[in-house]
Amino acid sequence: MTNLKTTIGLEIHVQLKTKSKMFCRCDNEAFGVKPNTTVCPICLGMPGSLPVANEQAILWTIKTGLTLNCEIPKIAKFDRKHYFYPDLPKGYQISQYDEPFCVGGYVEVGDRKINLTRIHLEEDAGKLIHREGISLVDLNRAGTPLMEIVSEPDIVSPEEAGAFLRKLQKIVRDEVSVSEASMEKGHLRCDANISITDGEKMSEIVELKNLNSFRFVEKALAIEEVRLKEEYPAWPLKLKKVTRGYDSKKNITFAQRTKEEAADYRYFPEPDLPPFDSSSVNLASLKKDIGISEDKNIEELVGMGLSTSNAKILASSPTKEDFFRKISENFDNNELIAKVVIHNYFGFELEKKDLDYSSEYAKAIEAFGSGKINKNILSQIFLEIRNGKKYLDIANGYLEADLNISEVVEGILKNNAKEVNLYKAGKQQLLGFFVGLVMRETKGAANPAEVNRILLEKLGR
């Protein structure tokens, strides 16, 4: 028989165990609480209420992303995903569309790498309770932070899907500790996609929604795997997506409404929340928090062109490492940047706020690297940049001043020939006298160390 290959992708919603909800300060613990008591105008979707993003939830998502080998883009933003449902009072869910907090990454399952597409953050909806002909709504859960982890369709069997989920549960619960990750309490909810191909033709793509136990995921996928293979002769000619449900009591799957396409949600950027800039986060120390092995980090820095010893020094100081990485985005002589950072040519202690000036600092380091300015001038320029000046606005001044000092020194030596001769005859304390003259002439603007250097050079010591 033809060789049929199974392709499975998963989307996992992980409820974060933050104290408060995603965009308001309501208590995030809704389990066993009286309906509609942990609510406020924001999570009830009242007109005019304004969401404020939960920083803890964002940091935890990034932390999870770092643990799962994701890339953390510089900018992330929230979007509105529109749909109507009685448990969604706003008429839209705040989610993330094209700029999530984490992209790429992978999870190792056995000896296989299952790639991830992305991890984004969104809010949960409320809950509908149906009983005896009436439906009730409980909005305690509305606004709960959900981290959605989306895998690539890299999974090859229902068993591997189960193993992937168990691994992920262990990571979010025990390693990064961002969720209780209890399947029974609904902290982990899984949607699965499955299709089969013979290499040319493809079965329909089945989406299984809201599977709330690992066993159900495996069972539902196994049922679909068999069903789709049996349908092989009748596979569709065009791409076809369907949604199916799983009845755990009868252990069967059944057809549901067809899947909406992304466009139906009319995503647009959430105007009430500013985009998030990840450079405001100390990624290196987050990595350290979660014990991303120092070896791996050092290896990466060596891969950026650093010597092992420099990589080790940077890896042991989160601020310096962050700063190094930031500057290296703007200028590509990594070994030089490392040297400047490690030997602190700045002359001041680097702080988080220095990250904001990194592109300006990069320009100064580049000029230093090409020999346009020396080490002393470099540190003076750093200081001015830190005080809010732009490199281009100050650099010319320094380049001219440097030339001027030479001229001033020459002039002074010429006008004080007697002292020069005394100096050369051995009266070295006259150096201070010359320095004083130069400083007076330059009205104190010259760097004394620089003046010393030029004087010694011209006096021919």
The interface partner of residue 148, options being Zn ion, Mn ion, none and the CB cut-off 5 to 8 Å by kind, is Mn ion
CB under 5 to 8 A by kind: which of Mn ion, Zn ion, none does 40 bind? Zn ion
Residues within the interface to Mn ion (CB under 5 A): 148
Half-sphere exposure of 387 (CA within 13 A, CB side): 9
Q: How far is the CB of 122 from Mn ion (least distance, A)?
A: 5
Task: State the nearest-atom distance from the C-beta of 69 to Mn ion, in Å.
Answer: 22
Between 265 and 345, CB nearer to Mn ion:
265
Name the token pair of 299: 């290896």
Q: Which does 57 bind (CB under 5 to 8 A by kind): Mn ion, Zn ion, none?
A: none
As measured in angstroms, the least distance from the Cβ of 144 to Mn ion is 12
In angstroms, the Cα distances linking 246 to 20, 205, 258, 320, 412 are 32, 16, 15, 52, 92
State the pairing for strand pair 106-109/112-123.
Answer: antiparallel
Q: Please state, in angstroms and rounded to a whole number, the distance separating the CA atoms of residues 311 and 301.
A: 5
How long, in residues, is the chain?
461
Contact 144, 175 (CB under 8 A): no
| Strand partners for 211 | 190
> Residue ranges of the alpha helices (H) in 94-184?
158-170
List b or e across 74-106, with b for residues whose CB sees 16 or more CB atoms inside 10 angstroms: eebbbbbbeeeeebbbbebbbbbbebbbbbbbb
* Comparison of 26 and 408: residue with beta carbon closer to Zn ion: 26
Q: Which one, 148 or 354, has the nearer CB to Mn ion? A: 148
x/- track of binding to Zn ion for residues 370-399 (CB under 5 A): ------------------------------
- For the segment 20-39, give every residue that binds Zn ion (CB under 5 A): 24, 26
> Minimal CB distance to Mn ion: which residue?
148
Among Zn ion, Mn ion, none, the one that 43 touches (CB under a kind-dependent 5 to 8 A) is Zn ion
Q: Which of 5, 19, 40, 248 binds Zn ion (CB under 5 A)?
A: 40
Chain-centroid distance, C-alpha 122:
16
- Among 43, 116, 202, 367, contact with Zn ion (rule: CB under 5 A): 43
Residue closer to Zn ion by CB (options 36, 212) is: 36
Closest to 101 (Cα-Cα) out of 264, 261, 286:
286
The entry of Zn ion, Mn ion, none that residue 383 binds, CB within 5 to 8 Å by partner kind: none
Return the residues of window 324-353 that contact Zn ion according to CB under 5 A: none
Nearer to Mn ion by Cβ, of 18 and 203: the residue is: 18
Positions touching Zn ion (CB under 5 A) are: 24, 26, 40, 42-43
